[in-house]
A and B are shown apart, each in its own frame.
Chain A
Amino acid sequence: MKKKLLGTLLSAAMVMSLLAGCGSTAQQPAADAAADTAAAVEETADAAADTADAAADTAADVEEAAEKVEEAAADAGAAGGNISIGFAQVGHESDWRTASTKSCQDVFSEANGYDLSFVDCDNDEAAQKEAVRSFIEQGVDYIIIDPIIATGWDTVLTECEDAGIPVIVIDRTIDDSDKYVSWVGSNFLTEGKAAGEWLKAYAEKQGIKEINALVISGSTGASAQIGRSDGFNEIAKREGWTILDEQTGDFTEAGGQEVMESYCKSYEGKFNVVVCQNDNEAFGAMTAMDNAGVAYGPGKDVILISFDACTAGLEDVKAGKISADFECNPLAAPFVEQVIQQLQGGETPDKEVFMEEHWYALPDQIVEFSIDGEPQKMTEVTDEVIAAQY
């Protein structure tokens, strides 16, 4: 009997924690409704404690109560006449991710006519699928997913389709299902090509004949790593550049530092370009080059190229350390909103929506180049640009 009682209490606690999760992100009326019903649940749990015999039955009651709360939350959302959106975010592992989350919260605000249910999935792929299912139960109008992994989505997306809820995928991709309306994200291949084409144009301007590049790549197999490597290597091959080595720094500062420290010894005086596949790796590479007495930056021995263009990265561009920084735009929400507006208006949005991205440098490093025949415009790094960056 004791065991049953414990079970009931635990499941009640679980429901409570679920409610707490809803309350913090759902809009106010929903949260209120939730709070009321939560009190009811609490009473039910108390009752369970009193009459231990009825414990098993009460467990079912608690579950029913939980369902009611969810319905109430959904109703409250619909009642406002706002478009309700569920967003299952990857987690909060980097500045980039935080910017991505904030962009969604800003764009899909109540003032703009949206009700956003936001779930931070803490890099747990099972939790993410559960979050999507709870969105279906809530009956939201649209679901946004930034998929933690690329596979295993078909069942969940079919459930969304059956419920008639359009799914928009952002940032990372889904490989094993096409039951989503649109994917909004960065074109990593273009970013890699941009770096290559910029280097070609800049080297010509500076009269640099021979390019010997060292690459510190991102986490092996990540789509950003593959795209940026493929894009840059394509240009390197076409131009006949030498890529001396490519090792992974795992997108971290410590990794970039250790790899560069080794590069400085293995290729002493043999390299004139270092490509870091994100800003954090570039920070580490700069420390390592400082400690090896290698001069880098515009006008120095080594050209340093970086990706992401976060605030700290742009500050280093401004300080004349990074020669050029190629942005990976985290602000997907405005592009997602366009897709949603198209859907509201009965139009069919594109299956793939690439976000607009900027290539940053100081005036002396700004050169004209084109990617696959398309002319590119570079952005000069100023204090205003840095302040506006995420």
Chain B
Amino acid sequence: MKKTWTKIKQWPLFLPVLSLIIVMAVNIIHDAATGANPLSFFLISLRDTTTSGTILYGRIIDIINRGSEVAILAIGMTLVVSASAGTDISVGSVMSLCASFMCMMLAGYGVSSTTTLAVPLVVGLLCAVVMGLVCGAFNGTLVAHLHIQPMVATLILYSAARAIGLLLCNDLIVYVRNPSFAFIGAFAGPIPTPIIITAICIIVVSLVLKKTALGMYIQSVGINARASRIAGLNSKLLIFLAYLLCGLFSAIAGIVASSRITSADSNNIGLYLEMDAILSVALGGNSLGGGKFNLAGSIIGAYTIQAITTTLYALGVSSIQAPVFKAIIVIIIVVIEAPPFKAFVGRLSASRAAAKGVRA
């Protein structure tokens, strides 16, 4: 019994999962206290709708659905943090730029509202992906080849990308009210499409990291770029690749976010999401100092952030106070995961065990 507990505690995902459970527990307590079914937060049911047929319905579905963008961003951010010991703060703006570019292509330049597509949907999606890759390559070149600090390098697109998107959209919100485009942000059968897209991204990346040595290479570059180079790894290329992938995932997140609202709202798509992406990496138990990483942790971190938001909505916390509660929860989680705190808890339990030993 004690052995399994120690084993669980040593599991790398123990703390990220624990924090997610704590957030969920708040809902059980709230529902029980208000006299509702304590598990109502977790209930998933099927619901008939006139627009999307029969769909899955429930707050857990909301969390996994709404958390998609941050989860997708967290994949790219994890790689960037690991390889370059820095963060890509441009992801939110790049999302907006990719979405604007895509909608501009789909609607035609200068058109602010349309129900028919000017180019096939695939072309629009490809445009977004290419734009994401270009942004990723730009960041990657600055960091890998010109050795500019990641935060400074990505600050350029952080401030510029959103503005370029506005320019592409002729300073308007471009509405593309087309069912085939809306599908990406709506439902595939009973399941929300963003969930499926996120799952595919996660599976592909984990397979690539597992089946090839890419994951190990990125980690070793993050731990010591010079030593990796001497050992025969192309550090520059690996760092570049991490930023390139981060750009790609920003584009995918941008496509999802834009399809949800079937429009390119360049001012608001991806706003502040770079902070959520970085926070998910941190909540996942990853060091922002680079090196070893745990992708599953980051993704759990992303859903934890969404769970906090959804919980605050469910509790009906007034919107003015919501950020304060969010901050408090994040502080608690971060403190639990901080190494000195872990060490303190370790010492505490060790001394208790010692005291027990003496008495025995």
Contact = CB atoms under 8 A, between A and B. Distances in A.
Interface of A: 92-95, 98, 122, 217, 220, 245-248, 250, 252-255, 257-259, 261-262, 265-266, 280, 283-284, 287, 290-293, 311-312
A122 B160 CA distance: 13
Interface of B: 47-52, 55, 57-59, 62, 66, 112-113, 163, 166, 171-173, 175, 186-187, 257, 260-261, 263, 265, 267-269, 309-310, 313-314, 316, 318-320
B265 A252 contact: yes
* Interface residues of A, dominant DSSP: helix
A112 B175 CA distance: 34
Nearest to B185: A287
Given A95-B112, A266-B316, A290-B51, A257 B260 contact: yes
A292 B47 contact: yes
23 contacts: A92-B171, A220-B319, A245-B316, A247-B319, A252-B261, A254-B257, A254-B265, A254-B268, A255-B268, A261-B66, A262-B59, A265-B59, A265-B314, A266-B313, A266-B316, A280-B173, A280-B265, A287-B261, A290-B50, A290-B51, A291-B186, A292-B49, A292-B57
B267 A312 contact: no
Nearest to A261: B62
Given A252-B265, A253-B265, A98 B172 contact: yes
A261 B47 CA distance: 14
A311 B175 CA distance: 12
Given A95-B112, A253-B265, A254-B257, A262 B51 contact: no
B314 A262 contact: yes
A94 B47 contact: no
A93 B265 CA distance: 9
Given A220-B319, A262-B314, 12 more contacts: A95-B112, A98-B172, A245-B316, A246-B318, A253-B263, A253-B265, A254-B260, A257-B261, A258-B309, A266-B313, A284-B261, A291-B55
A127 to B, nearest CB: 14
A94 B268 CA distance: 11
B295 to A, nearest CB: 26
Minimum-distance CB pairs A-B, first 3: A262-B313, A248-B319, A92-B171
A311 B51 contact: no
A290 B52 contact: yes
Contacts of A257: 260-261
B47 A293 contact: yes
Contact of A254 (B55, B261, B316): B261
Contacts of B320: 220
Query: Which of A92, A122, A217, A259 counts the most chain B CB atoms within 10 A?
Result: A92
B303 to A, nearest CB: 15
A228 B261 CA distance: 24
A259 B313 contact: yes
